[in-house]
Amino acid sequence: MRKAVYPGSFDPVTLGHLDIIERSARMSDWLIIGVLNNNSKTPLFSVEERVNMLKKMTSHLPNVEVKSFGGLLIDFMRANGADVVIRGLRAITDFEYELQMAQTNRVMAPEIDTVFLTTNLKYSYLSSSIVKEIAYYDGDISEFLAPEIAECVREKMSERKKNG
Ligand code: PNS
């Protein structure tokens, strides 16, 4: 059984992520979406909220599971018996960081390989950070996120602004 992990922050999940999830779910027997629980970053959404949003968006995919993880990705992979990491590559600017992560992970865990999927051209410019910036200034984010997720982002942003 080919078990893969698609790790990320998913703060929030974008249409670009969903495209990678659907395509990688077709290529693996079992796909775990690993949502990073990193205390040193201050995400817009809590890890539980990010996991729940991803569960909702992937409920139509029978071989996809969503879990959070902390610590090293390779430890999460080993604990789940997975040996393929999936990452999306948008542009050449992603390459250096992605190569560094993939090479480092391979030194630490030679049995684990990283597979890169080139993102759909439609989403090659898209990032969660840009979406959050647009939402912060009340711009239209409906082209970038599923409608339910866009609603969550708008709500969260207005809460944030109210509370300073
Ligand atoms: O969506 P992101 O923020 O680009 O995802 C980055 C992620 C979660 C894949 C990366 O930060 C990660 O794997 N973090 C876990 C810690 C780890 O294993 N670090 C060593 C990788 S070289």
Contacts of 117 (CB under 8 A, 6+ apart): 20, 23, 24, 86, 87, 88, 89
Question: Is 99 touching ligand 1 by the criterion CB < 6 Å?
Answer: no
Give nearest CA residue, ligand 1 atom 21: 101
Q: Which helix (H) or strand (E) holds 57?
A: helix 47-57
Q: Are strands 113-118 and 64-69 parallel, antiparallel or unpaired?
A: unpaired
pTM for the whole thing? 0.96
Catalytic residue set: 17, 41, 90, 128
> What is the rounded average pLDDT for all residues in the chain?
95
- Model confidence at 83, pLDDT cuts 50, 70, 90, reads very high
Is 88 touching ligand 1 by the criterion CB < 6 Å?
A: no
Measured by CA distance, the residue closest to atom 1 of ligand 1 is 8
Q: Give the DSSP H/E element, type plus range, for residue 133.
A: helix 128-136
Q: Residue 97: what residue type? A: Y
Q: Residue of the nearest CA to atom 16 in ligand 1? A: 72
Q: Is the pLDDT of residue 57 over 80?
A: yes
The atom of ligand 1 lying closest to the CA of 73 is 18
Tell me how many degrees the CA angle 103-108-109 measures, rounded to the nearest 5.
95
- Please write the tens of the pLDDT for every residue from 129-164: 999 999 999 999 999 999 999 999 999 999 988 887
Rounded to the nearest angstrom, the distance between the alpha carbon of 63 and the centre of ligand 1 is 23
Token pair belonging to 91: 């542009």
- Position 106 confidence tier, pLDDT thresholds 50, 70, 90: very high
Between helix 147-162 and helix 128-136 the angle, nearest 10°, is 50
What pLDDT sits at residue 91?
Answer: 87
The rounded distance, in Å, linking the Cα atoms of 114 and 102 is: 6
The sign of the torsion formed by the CA atoms of 117, 94, 7, 134 equals negative
Tokens of 140: 């239209």
Name the token pair of 18.
């969903």
When pLDDT is cut at 50, 70 and 90, the band that residue 120 belongs to is: very high
CA of 91 to the centre of ligand 1 (A): 18
Residues in the chain: 164
